[in-house]
A and B are shown apart, each in its own frame.
Chain A
Amino acid sequence: MGSTETVASGLSVASVSRTFSVKGSTVRALEEATLAAPLGSFTALIGPSGCGKSTLLRLLSGLDRPDSGELRIGDRSPDQVRLAGGIGIVFQDPALLPWRTVVGNISLPLQVKGDSVSEARDRIHSLIELVGLKGFEKAHPGQLSGGMRQRVAIARALVTEPSVLLLDEPFGALDEILRRTMNEELQRIWMERRPTAVLVTHSVEEAVFLADQVAVMAKQPGRVLDTIEIPFERPRRASLVRSPEFRAVADHLSEKLFGPT
């Protein structure tokens, strides 16, 4: 898809700045950051700690506002989209409510919005199937593994059928082996629903494997240095990571991040 859509109906970040004052000193978390993502595309934000990638994600979620510049999702502001249930978000910490079952946790956004949970039952169950948790509907988070909890968090983020999916280092707490599996899973889930996705990550491999484009960010002040297109066909297979083409793109990205060796 992507090609026939105009950028205007995707995500746009235009010259966005955000500063915080911490104990009297000012931190320029983001300065004149600019980024565009077509509707239904997958963008990864990568950069060192403190480059403002999580700040940018928070601004896109509408939970925070920029000091200057403008963010649009289609022709609406992030806040408008958020209140309409158009944004799903997944954090590194799955942030599940321990006293709720898998179904209960996935229903949470609907309850907050005041939507009927019983009407959405089929949708919830197909989501549980989509994220591969069939049979665990009645389980509590304490009974699930770390990867399974993150699957619940992804299902919860998708339950309002959002047009934008924000992922803040969703697999940062998982080990490398599980992380690769989850990356493949995420690609599959995303391809079924095709929300416009933005992923914050520390991992070059994860960014190249999942994204259509990778925005490389730098710190002090936080800003977008460059945007790199990732050309690989989808669905991408796990073996892609070992191909010379993949390594070449990854090396190019590393060079942008760490400078030429």
Chain B
Amino acid sequence: MSGASERILRIRSAIAIAAMLAAWEIVGRFELIANGAFPAPTAILSGLWADSDLYWRHISASVRSASLGFVIGNVIAVLMAVLFVQFPATERLMSGINITLFAMPLIAVVPVLVLAFDGSTPQVVLAAVAVYYPTMSSMLLGLRNVDDRLVDAIRGFGGGSLAILRRVRLRAALPALTIGLRTAAPAAVLGSLLAEFGSGSRWGLGTFLLGSLGAGDPARLWGIGLVATGIAGVGYGVFALVAKVTTRQVASETLATSPVPASGSREEHPVTRFLYALASLIVALGAWQLLLAVIDLNPILTRSPVGVVRFLFTEDGSGEARARLVTALGETLPAVFWGLAAGLVAAFVFAVVLTLLPSVGRSVLPFALISQTMPLVAFTPLIALVFGRGAWTTIVVTISVTFFPSFVTIAQGLAMTPRRAVDVVQIYGGSKLTVLRLVSVPSAVPYLLAAARLAAPRALLGVMVAEWLATGRGLGNLLNESRGRLDFGMIWSVAAVSVVVAIALYRVFVAIDQMVMKRYLGG
């Protein structure tokens, strides 16, 4: 694209933003929507200014715990990635834990963390948990995705796997690591906010948000939401910049030629595979047991894996506990399904329509990227203010957490529509719509599937947050209630069941993906 048209594009998006702000100001001034749920931008700003002392104390508390968790989580993530690449079997043994940390709805373990730790430790721990997976997976990909020829060269000089790690892998993984950190920074903010739910800590934006829920001051809710987004956005921006620099330095021709070795895809005896799966499950449950031993809490407060099973199946009142859990699941799962489906369909349609209007698409994509850094929790009360405390709020929250990441994934897929295939259709007089129907939409299907896989755990988190904060139904609410009633068995059970549900959801989408792709590409 030439410089002139880029400038026009920039001017156009500036005008669009200005128009949006102006419209928002008018809507806010005259309380046009939902009785003032959209206060004017100037009202939000003046609220921020008036309470700036208060904001600062909450902000610094959140930033402190998020940063500490960010550092701890990332150090662990990098060390684990190195371990996995040096000893591939460890990755398979740890896969149960890794997938748990990827799919787990963070909010499910908040009450457990609050039971186990004092002060701001839950926030730090949850921030660390939130950053682990994005950094670890990115780093691992970077460590593995090195040029085979470089590896052979080091071997040729007599170097072992440690020399390869030191001379090639670590350096080559730098861009991937920074990209992982870029995703991890907003995740750390989200983790530290969520951990303040019911933590009783005085300072922090999550505490501030909960405390402002009943105040009926939309300007403050907006203020907190925007400030949280700002912090997450700054974290993202800093590492995006670092990522840009490192990517430029390493982007030489010899790199990124060899495909990622697919460690799981090689032919293997089903028994071996089953044993590995079993071992990874045992490792995950063992880690749970080990953590309990390390924390060394009063046994009344904790439940081991066996303890959860007893609570739900053999103890007195297990029938009643089970019934409550099943009822909650019956409320949560349909919401996850509908929210996820709506979010994915909307993202798909939006992405496809934007390929017909490429200039609009180019100006929307940056916003979509930024919106991914938004800590959704912070906006849930506002959504509840507009849509009420019923099912609509749950659906809207879920759509908003699934829509943008799915949109970005699908839009990137559509952007990679093979240029020549488009030419072929145009040769025979095919219109833009024909290109869309015959080429773009089908070629976006794999990206839709990938988006579904990634969005499913987010959808569960979105539903549970909405349930906790607004609707008073489902797993999220059960968790909140059990916390209030000091029903420790239920707290641990809901956490465990949510994790199992999240993993099952993810597995279902992986299976669908494999099935569809097999048909799609023949085989």
Q: Which residues of A come within 8 Å of B, CB atoms?
A: 21-24, 61-63, 82-83, 85, 87-89, 91, 93, 95-99, 101, 108-109, 111-113, 138-140, 142-143, 156, 160
Q: Contacts A95-B420, A99-B445 given; indicate if A82 touches B521 (C-beta within 8 A).
A: no
Known: A24-B3, A95-B423, A112-B429. 14 other contacts (CB 8 A): A23-B3, A62-B427, A63-B427, A82-B427, A82-B429, A85-B428, A91-B420, A91-B423, A95-B420, A97-B439, A99-B443, A99-B445, A142-B523, A156-B424
Among B418, B442, B443, B522, find the residue whose CB has the most chain A CB atoms closer than 10 A: B522
Query: In the assembled complex, how far is the CB of residue B140 from the closest CB belonging to chain A, in whole angstroms?
Result: 26
Are A82 and B428 interface neighbours, CB within 8 A? yes
B520 interface residue per 8 A CB criterion: yes
Interfacial chain B residues near A156, Cβ < 8 Å = 424
Task: Kindly state the separation between the CA atoms of A142 and B445 in the bound complex, as whole angstroms.
Answer: 16
B438 interface residue per 8 A CB criterion: yes
5 interchain pairs, CB-CB under 8 A = A95-B423, A95-B424, A112-B434, A113-B428, A140-B521
Q: Contacts A24-B2, A98-B521 given; indicate if A112 touches B420 (C-beta within 8 A).
A: no
Task: Kindly state the separation between the CA atoms of A108 and B420 in the bound complex, as whole angstroms.
Answer: 13
Interfacial chain A residues near B317, Cβ < 8 Å = none
Q: Contacts A91-B420, A93-B418 given; indicate if A99 touches B520 (C-beta within 8 A).
A: yes
Query: In the assembled complex, how far is the CB of residue B413 from the closest CB belonging to chain A, in whole angstroms?
Result: 13
Q: Contacts A61-B427, A97-B442, A139-B522 given; indicate if A23 touches B421 (C-beta within 8 A).
A: no
Residue of B nearest to A91 (CB): B420
Closest 6 CB pairs of A and B: A140-B522, A95-B420, A112-B428, A112-B430, A83-B429, A95-B421
Task: Kindly state the separation between the CA atoms of A241 and B423 in the bound complex, as whole angstroms.
Answer: 34
Q: Contacts A23-B3, A85-B428, A99-B521 given; indicate if A112 touches B438 (C-beta within 8 A).
A: yes
Number of interface residues of B (CB under 8 A): 23
Residue of A nearest to B430 (CB): A112
Task: Kindly state the separation between the CA atoms of A156 and B438 in the bound complex, as whole angstroms.
Answer: 15
Task: Kindly state the separation between the CA atoms of A109 and B424 in the bound complex, as whole angstroms.
Answer: 8
Task: Kindly state the separation between the CA atoms of A40 and B214 in the bound complex, as whole angstroms.
Answer: 82
Task: Kindly state the separation between the CA atoms of A27 and B235 in the bound complex, as whole angstroms.
Answer: 43
Task: Kindly state the separation between the CA atoms of A109 and B522 in the bound complex, as whole angstroms.
Answer: 21
Q: Contacts A24-B2, A97-B439, A97-B443 given; indicate if A142 touches B522 (C-beta within 8 A).
A: yes
Interfacial chain A residues near B442, Cβ < 8 Å = 97, 99
Task: Kindly state the separation between the CA atoms of A160 and B427 in the bound complex, as whole angstroms.
Answer: 11
Binary A-proximity of B276-295 (CB < 8 A = 1, otherwise 0): 00000000000000000000
Interfacial chain A residues near B424, Cβ < 8 Å = 89, 95, 108-109, 156
